[in-house]
Amino acid sequence: MPESPDHVTCQEVVELVTAYLERSMAADETTLFEQHLNFCEGCVWYVEQMRGTVEATRRIAEDDIPADARERLLMAFRDWTAP
């Protein structure tokens, strides 16, 4: 929660940003957060950096299955189905 009831600081923004992106902040807290973004370009860029971080992390995903793993699993499945 922000220390002041009527505004958030940049230092608070960097700790609240995940709750903001997750849409898990209370409505009044979201309002304060967005009011801050309206006048603070630095924090707009910070929020964009966090979005960029999420995108960059998504790109390390490996979607391929090694051929030997596929083969091993199929063997295990055949064993499992064998009477």
Contact positions vs other proteins (CB under 8 A) = 9-12, 14-15, 17-19, 22, 24, 40-43, 45-46, 48-50, 52-54, 56-65, 69-70, 72-74, 76-78, 80-81
CB-nearer residue toward other proteins: 9 or 31:
9
Instruction: Report the Cα 49 to chain-centroid distance in Å.
Output: 11
Locate 6 and state its tokens.
């009527």
Beta carbon of residue 31, minimum distance to other proteins (angstroms, whole number): 19
Q: List, in sequence order, the alpha helices (H) in the chain.
A: 10-21, 27-39, 41-58, 67-81
Name which of 11 and 38 has its Cβ closer to other proteins: 11
HSE toward the beta carbon, residue 14, CA cutoff 13 A:
6
